[in-house]
Amino acid sequence: MNKATRKAIIAGNWKMNKTRPEAKALLEELKGMVADIKTVEIVACVPFTNLETALAATEGTNIKIGAENCHFEKSGAFTGEISADMLAEMGVEYVVLGHSERRQYFAETDETVNKRTKAALAAGLKPIVCVGELLWERECNITEEVIARQIKLDFFGISADDLKKCVIAYEPVWAIGTGKTATADQAEEVCAFIRAQLAKLYGAEVAEAITIQYGGSMNAANAAELVSKTNVDGGLIGGASLKAADFTTIIKAAENG
Ligand code: PGA
């Protein structure tokens, strides 16, 4: 299997942006621009408050909707949290898990990412699991150790069949929201390393089938080079997903990549 047979996925991660009217306007604009895209899976991961609006605005289109997090318990006394079942019932398809901002600001650990991934899979959601090294870790030359550890822990106890429902986003933390993109070669190097780790854990066939995205200051200008790389199967896009034209340029780059 090679890149051509894997699903390219371009997912927007809106983070804490957009009110409901703003969300509707952005998706209405995007809808028209990407209507003819067939070979790339387009996903908009939006704040919880926008999910219903986003699902309604994209009904019957080629845009899928995702959430930006979910809790690992099914229900109960977890004030302020949202369960995977709640998302699945709405018709949400994807969920971003283990984003570095969750790890950095909200005490997310590999253990809780693992629990959330299992909960999301049990609810029938497709997790987009984020991994990536800090700048300090890259400078200390331990990027591979960090990534190998995250992959082992985040997917611990997850079967090959379930892994195939997951997307992995390689997001070097130093590149997120900084305008400092990894070079295409750096992105390829780590995405290939992730695939090699998956091959060790699950076998080559499974590893070859998994979509691995790059994320971190991906934009309309640099997307084509990034997604042209053998092991980069799309992107998780923050800032540039908030502008329909830029997001569309990235999606079109993935269609040709
Ligand atoms: P960015 O964010 O594109 O704004 O760097 C990427 C992400 O956090 O997923």
Query: Is the beta carbon of 239 within 6 A of some atom in ligand 1?
Result: yes
| Residue-range domains of the chain with CATH | 8-69+80-256 (3.20.20.70)
Report H helices in the chain: 20-33, 51-58, 84-90, 100-105, 110-122, 135-139, 143-154, 160-163, 184-202, 204-209, 223-227, 244-256
Q: Are 100 and 173 in contact (CB under 8 A)?
A: yes
Under DSSP, the state recorded for 40 is: E
User: How many angstroms separate the CA atoms of 235 and 17, rounded?
Assistant: 19
Label the pairing between strands 94-97 and 63-67. Answer: parallel
User: Which pLDDT value is given to residue 177?
Assistant: 85
User: Which pLDDT value is given to residue 178?
Assistant: 87
For residue 62 the two structure tokens come to 């080629």
Q: Hunting for tokens 């070079």 — which residue is that?
A: 183
Question: How far, in Å, is the centroid of ligand 1 from the Cα of 213?
Answer: 12
Pocket test for ligand 1, best of 168, 217, 227, 243 (most atoms within 8 A of CB): 217
Q: Hunting for tokens 């993109």 — which residue is that?
A: 181
User: Which pLDDT value is given to residue 257?
Assistant: 79
- Closest residue by Cα to atom 3, ligand 1, is 238
Atom nearest to 169 CA in ligand 1: 9
Question: How far, in Å, is the centroid of ligand 1 from the Cα of 70?
Answer: 19
User: Which pLDDT value is given to residue 181?
Assistant: 86
Would you give per-residue pLDDT tens digits along the chain (257 residues)? 478 789 899 999 999 999 999 999 999 999 999 999 999 999 999 999 999 999 999 999 999 999 999 999 999 999 999 999 999 999 999 999 999 999 999 999 999 999 999 999 999 999 999 999 999 999 999 999 999 999 999 999 999 999 999 999 999 999 998 888 889 999 999 999 999 999 999 999 999 999 999 999 999 999 999 999 999 999 999 999 999 999 999 999 999 87
User: How many angstroms separate the CA atoms of 169 and 211, rounded?
Assistant: 8
Query: Is the beta carbon of 177 within 6 A of some atom in ligand 1?
Result: yes
Q: What is the pTM of this model?
A: 0.97
Nearest to 126 by CA among 49, 11, 3: 11
CA distances from 188 to 123, 184, 231 (A): 32, 6, 6
Nearest to 133 by CA among 189, 94, 179, 95: 189
User: Which pLDDT value is given to residue 194?
Assistant: 98
Question: How far, in Å, is the centroid of ligand 1 from the Cα of 101?
Answer: 10
Query: Is the beta carbon of 251 within 6 A of some atom in ligand 1?
Result: no
Judged by DSSP in three states, 10 sits in strand
What is the Cα Rg of the chain in Å? 17
Question: How far, in Å, is the centroid of ligand 1 from the Cα of 118?
Answer: 24
User: Which pLDDT value is given to residue 46?
Assistant: 99
- Closest residue by Cα to atom 1, ligand 1, is 238
Between vectors from CA 181 to CA 175 and to CA 186, what angle results, nearest 5°?
Answer: 100
Q: Which residues does the annotation mark as catalytic?
A: 99, 171
User: How many angstroms separate the CA atoms of 15 and 50, rounded?
Assistant: 11
Q: Are 256 and 224 in contact (CB under 8 A)?
A: yes
Q: Hunting for tokens 């290939």 — which residue is that?
A: 192
